[in-house]
Structure 1
Amino acid sequence: MRSASESLWGGIRLAVTVALMLACRASEYEDVGWNPPYGKPPQCVDIPEDLRLCHTVGYTRMLLPNLLEHETMAEVKQQASSWVPLLHKNCHPGTQVFLCSLFAPVCLDRHIFPCRWLCEAVRDGCSPIMGAFGFPWPDMLTCDKFPEEDVCIAMSQPNTTEATRTTGHSLICPPCDNEMKTDAILEHMCASEFAFKTKIKEVKRENMDRKVILQKRKKMLKEGNLKKKDLKTLVLYLKNGADCPCQQLDNLGNHYLIMGRKVDKQYLLTGIHKWDKSSKEFKKAIKKLKTYKCPAFENVFK
């Protein structure tokens, strides 16, 4: 019996295949819609294994420059890497197909863009997750740019159920995803400007947020732009987290790895993991923090 993940990926590959069949038929028509002002004609290239966002999307060749005007593979990798953590959140089953139709468009004789309804479904499913980390849905992915009725890349026939359905996504507050895996901890770290070890003094509800008041004593792991005077009175907010479960905030007796970033005038909690030296994954993550190279989130989510 196939697992749920295998069934999901099978469905995605089938959807891509159907989309490609439609796209091939589209070559009979004139190229309509908006086209990026390329400096050079697109060429077919292999999707490299280290393009993690799209290496498993269901096809092996892509156009370069892509539909986001990235002209080199180095630029594609750098920009696409920022989106890999979003795939792990399972916020919508069409996330990879949507993003890869832009970052690594399939090789055809015309540009095939994602359907507007797919963009809207992915945006509606994933923007709350991004918002919890202080990242807005970026202007470069504004959904009204994409075709509504022309041939376009889609997961399946658009309908309300399919467009809004999520797979494997829990109601746990995104920063509280406490799966003790090295990659997950490093992803939270990369989405954060600062990190430290400390205890939590008190948690209060404030409107739709949770206000996290910390103990004064903190051991810094990543300082960012946080100043000493700010650190003493630092209060973090779990954005829109008043009602979603956060197991770490239920037991205030532990030490935690606390991560955050400043958005506007607030400091947001972007990650919280129990400080557990008995966990090999946690110890590995802490060891890798000093040398780990994070994707440039600020260059993408703006």
Structure 2
Amino acid sequence: MKNLLPKLWIFIAAVLFLPLLNASEYEYYNWKPEIYGRNPQCMDIPEDLRLCFNVGYKQMLLPNLLEHETIAEVKQQAGSWVPLVHKACHPGTQVLLCSLFAPVCLDRPIYPCRWLCEAVRDSCTPIMEAFGFPWPEMLNCDKFPEGDVCIAMNTTNSDDMDTSPGVSSVCPPCDNEMNTDGILEHMCASEFAIRTKIKEVKIDNLDRKIILQKRRKPVKLGTLKKQELKKLVFYLKNGAACPCQQLENLGHSYLIMGRRAGTQYILTGIHKWDKSSKEFKTALKKLKSHKCPTYEPVFK
């Protein structure tokens, strides 16, 4: 532990002055984790590791705390979480994820605190469920330490933040701006995309049931079969109460994205079909060739 402490305090001193999205600081508590089972290597965090580049430290350990052994594997898996960070469901989301995907370069692994994991889980699960994803087993909070040395947000700065779960002011699939990256991120959380108009919207228990007009043009079929396209009905999960401006303007054509979850088709993104927007036109051009992170191995 003697060799660990100097490096640990140098790291603490550094990150206290470096911003991290809405959550800008780390704290550490005394916990004695197991030593890495394999020889770890210290490497620079690459620029294309979008989840954790500029996170507040420059180097990470491999294997990481999720047992990813190559940087290619880390980038593939971590990319799936970037949209969740952008949804800002909890100020500690990036802190939690980067402590696992890109752990700071120290002599021993330091895991996130259990309470941080639980706070992020409780706040972000409704967002994930809206896109048809459960909270994954890989982030089972029971695996993480309750105290001692662990990674947390600085409670001094986070006390005035509302970190409790609640109803989003806007339904997550509807909460978007007309920009290329946002549209592509919604597509990466989806299995298919179509162009169509909406005929009717009904409340179905806690969900909204979205009935489409007959004319439906596939933009990217993905896993959707042509015969399924004819019978397609979308559900906005837990969307009975949250606002969705797009579903209140039924005269427009929309780029609608979705994915299958069990026996239902979940609405994962809805953007006004607007060819006058340069951002929208750019997104359409990139849509079919855009390489998305792999979601299935992450959200399981």
TM-score range, shorter chain: 0.7 to 0.9
Structure 1: state its 5+ residue gaps.
Answer: 1-5
Quote the Cα distance in structure 2 between the aligned partners of 1:100 and 1:243: 33
Query: What's 2:7 paired with?
Result: none
- Kindly provide the amino acid, as one letter, of the partner of residue 117 in structure 1: W
Quote the Cα distance in structure 2 between the aligned partners of 1:158 and 1:299: 36
**Match among 54, 66, 84 for residue 52 of structure 2:** 54
**Match among 10, 15, 23 for residue 12 of structure 1:** 23
Query: What's 1:184 paired with?
Result: 182
- Kindly provide the amino acid, as one letter, of the partner of residue 12 in structure 1: A
Pairs within 5 Å for 1:110-259? 110-157=108-155, 165=163, 171-259=169-257
Query: What's 1:43 paired with?
Result: 41
Quote the Cα distance in structure 2 between the aligned partners of 1:74 and 1:123: 26
Query: What's 2:277 paired with?
Result: 279
- Kindly provide the amino acid, as one letter, of the partner of residue 23 in structure 2: I
Query: What's 1:100 paired with?
Result: 98
| CA shift for structure 1 position 193 | 1.0
Q: Is the 8 A contact 1:117 1:163 kept in 2?
A: no
Cα 1:90–1:7 shift into 2, 3 Å: farther
- Kindly provide the amino acid, as one letter, of the partner of residue 108 in structure 2: R
- Kindly provide the amino acid, as one letter, of the partner of residue 142 in structure 2: D
* Percent of pairs with identical residues: 69
- Kindly provide the amino acid, as one letter, of the partner of residue 265 in structure 1: T
Cα 1:123–1:60 shift into 2, 3 Å: same
Corresponding pairs, count: 283
Cα 1:55–1:160 shift into 2, 3 Å: closer
| CA shift for structure 1 position 227 | 2.3
Identify the range of structure 1 (86-95 vs 155-164) with the bigger mean alpha-carbon deviation.
155-164
More helix by share: 1
Structure 1's consecutive aligned runs of 4 or more residues displaced over 6 angstroms after TM superposition are: none
When normalised by structure 1's length, the TM-score is: 0.87
| Residues 257-283 of structure 1: CA deviation (Å, up to 9, x unaligned) | 011111000111111000001111100
Cα 1:9–1:72 shift into 2, 3 Å: closer
Quote the Cα distance in structure 1 between the aligned partners of 2:144 and 2:18: 28
| CA shift for structure 1 position 170 | 5.2
Cα 1:293–1:274 shift into 2, 3 Å: same
Query: What's 1:87 paired with?
Result: 85
Q: Is the 8 A contact 1:90 1:166 kept in 2?
A: no
| CA shift for structure 1 position 163 | 8.0
- Kindly provide the amino acid, as one letter, of the partner of residue 244 in structure 1: C
| CA shift for structure 1 position 161 | 5.5
RMSD value, Cα: 2.5
Pairs within 5 Å for 1:15-34? 15-16=25-26, 18-19=27-28, 31-32=32-33
Quote the Cα distance in structure 1 between the aligned partners of 2:175 and 2:91: 19
When normalised by structure 2's length, the TM-score is: 0.88
| CA shift for structure 1 position 160 | 10
Quote the Cα distance in structure 1 between the aligned partners of 2:180 and 2:275: 13
Cα 1:9–1:183 shift into 2, 3 Å: same
Query: What's 1:3 paired with?
Result: none
Quote the Cα distance in structure 2 between the aligned partners of 1:79 and 1:221: 26
